[in-house]
Amino acid sequence: MIDRISDPDGPKIIVCCGSGGVGKTTLSAAIGLYGALSGKKTIVLTIDPARRLADALGLTDFNVDAQRVPIEQISDITRPFDGQLYAMMLDPKRTFDHLISRYAPADLQDIIFKNRYYQHLSNNMAGSHEYMAMEKLYEIYHQDKYDLIVLDTPPSRRALDFLEAPDKLLNLLGNNFFLKMFKPYLHAGRFGMRVFNILAFPVLRAVGKVIGSQVLDDLAGFMQLWNDVLFEGFSRRAETVKNLLSSNMTLFLAIATPQHLPMTEAVFLYEKLRQNNMPFGGFVINRVHVGGGNMAIIDTDRLGMAELFHNESADPKLTEKLSITYKNYQKMSESDARAINALIKKIGPSVDIMQMPIEEGEIAQLNDLVRLSRRF
């Protein structure tokens, strides 16, 4: 599934979705590296990498520009290649600010930055992270500088959030919806912005009484600016990105670990994509305790550890510990296998499922990413 990247006519955008804590960021980096090693100029857009992974990718807190990853320094790679890898950290607040300074008229920028509603929206509002990831994707795609974009989606408990959030946000800030709805309640105020005419309307007066009239004023001010200055551009870009994500240039990957919640979320994502005819690449099940292959299934009870190690000088306490450890591992690998079989049963045998074996060490070096990417 991921090997489709190496095809010159393969996907140009890989979107890694999955609930929090399944290893999306690390896998995105490994997928990016795979793209680079197959000769493509690749960029990984990432959200919150672990410190050491960020260091390996050359990312720091204060830099939001694309960073070139020095993959030529990777010792394991011998064959010549002309791919390049870039990484970029997504920061919603900065992205939002950047968009405002780019698209809003200079005299209004300050008013926007100081609006408390804007401050909240750019930092905290549900959906703003996802929305910003979309904006960044739009920007990078239209720069046309890269052959492949790998997008690590924002951390969230629900894998679907990335797909739904921008729509939700746009509906909320929908085209002129605000003005239509509020027209009767607005009157001309300071700075040419309309302000709620609270006194005149019992409904708003009551709402104002509950949430405070200051909030309504801030909201009105922001919405006014949004409508006059920003909405058209925002919604046009969001529409473009949506089309892009639905096209065959994109491939969505559902990333999960074998636990119940991440698996359920991954299946939801898959179903949602299928309903909307969006391009689904497959499931990547991360951190699988592999039972078969080079890990032999050994019945330590039947075999008897003492017998197994009979000609060793190992003391019986040690062989007992070894037996416990091996049994634990077997128990875990059986649990993982059950989870994966349940997934296959649910989605049918035709959908790609890739299993990534658990790494006992940390993925903190480029060499570790190379090792991961070899499994693709």
- Min separation Cβ 121 and another protein, Å: 7
State the DSSP string of 50-114.
-HHHHHHTT--TT--S-EEE-GGG-TT--S----EEEEEE--HHHHHHHHHHHHS-HHHHHHHHH
Sign of CA dihedral 52, 58, 63, 68: negative
Residues of this chain, 71-110, that bind another protein according to CB under 8 A? none
* Helix H or strand E encompassing 239: helix 231-246
121 vs 132: CA distance, rounded Å: 11
Select from 76, 80, 296, 349 the one that contacts another protein (CB under 8 A).
296
* CA 348 – CA 253 distance, rounded (Å): 17
**Near another protein by CB under 8 A, which window of 93-101, 228-236, 270-278, 354-362?**
354-362
113 binds another protein (CB under 8 A): no
Of positions 11, 258, 281, 282, contacts another protein by CB under 8 A: 258
Query: Toward another protein, which CB reaches closer, 37 or 230?
Result: 230
Beta carbon nearer to another protein, 35 or 49: 49
- In 3D space, the residue among 174, 185, 188 whose CA is nearest the CA of residue 213 turns out to be 185
What does DSSP assign to residue 311?
T
Q: Is 324 in the site for another protein (CB under 8 A)?
A: yes
- Binding residues for another protein restricted to 25-44, rule: CB under 8 A: none
* Nearer CB in complex with another protein: 5/219: 219
Q: Residue 136, interface with another protein (CB under 8 A)?
A: no
Residue 199 interacts with another protein (CB under 8 A): yes or no: no
In this complex, which beta carbon is closest to another protein, that of residue 107 or of residue 301?
A: 301
Residue 332 is a binding residue for another protein (CB under 8 A)? yes
**With respect to another protein, which residue has the nearer C-beta, 38 or 156?**
156
Return the residue of 81, 113, 138, 329 that touches another protein, per CB under 8 A. 329
Is 200 a binder of another protein (CB under 8 A)? no
Q: What own/partner pairs with CB < 8 Å and gap ≥ 24 does 93-102 have?
A: 93/122, 93/123, 94/64, 95/64, 95/132, 95/135, 95/136, 96/121, 96/122, 96/128, 96/132, 97/122, 99/135, 99/230, 99/234, 100/230
Count of C-beta atoms within a 10 Å radius of residue 307: 10
Nearest-approach distance from CB 355 to another protein, in angstroms: 14
Answer yes or no whether residue 211 interacts with another protein by CB under 8 A: yes
**231 is an interface residue for another protein by CB under 8 A:** no
Stretch that binds another protein, among 32-40, 74-82, 213-221, 238-246 (CB under 8 A): 213-221
The torsion of the CA quartet 73, 74, 79, 85, rounded to 10 degrees, works out to -80
Stretch that binds another protein, among 105-113, 131-139, 230-238, 358-366 (CB under 8 A): 358-366
We find the least distance from the C-beta atom of residue 190 to another protein, in angstroms, to be 17
- In our burial notation (b when 16+ CB lie closer than 10 A, e otherwise), range 45-56 reads bbbebeeebbeb
Q: Exposure pattern of 312-340 as b/e (b: 16+ CB <10 Å)?
A: eeeeeeebeeebeebeeebeebeebbebb
Tell me which of 101, 143, 176, 214 binds another protein, using CB under 8 A: 214
Residues 171-190 that bind another protein (CB under 8 A): 172-173, 178, 181-182
Instruction: Give CA–CA dist 186/52, Å, rounded.
Output: 52
Binder to another protein among 7, 65, 76, 360 (CB under 8 A)? 360
Nearer to another protein, 5 or 16 (CB): 16
Contact flag: residue 344 with another protein (CB under 8 A) = no
Residue 133: both structure tokens together: 């990831």
The upper half-sphere exposure of residue 154, i.e. CA atoms within 13 Å in the direction of its Cβ, equals 23
Least Cβ distance, residue 219 to another protein (angstroms): 6
The smaller minimum CB distance to another protein, of residues 85 and 343, is found at 343
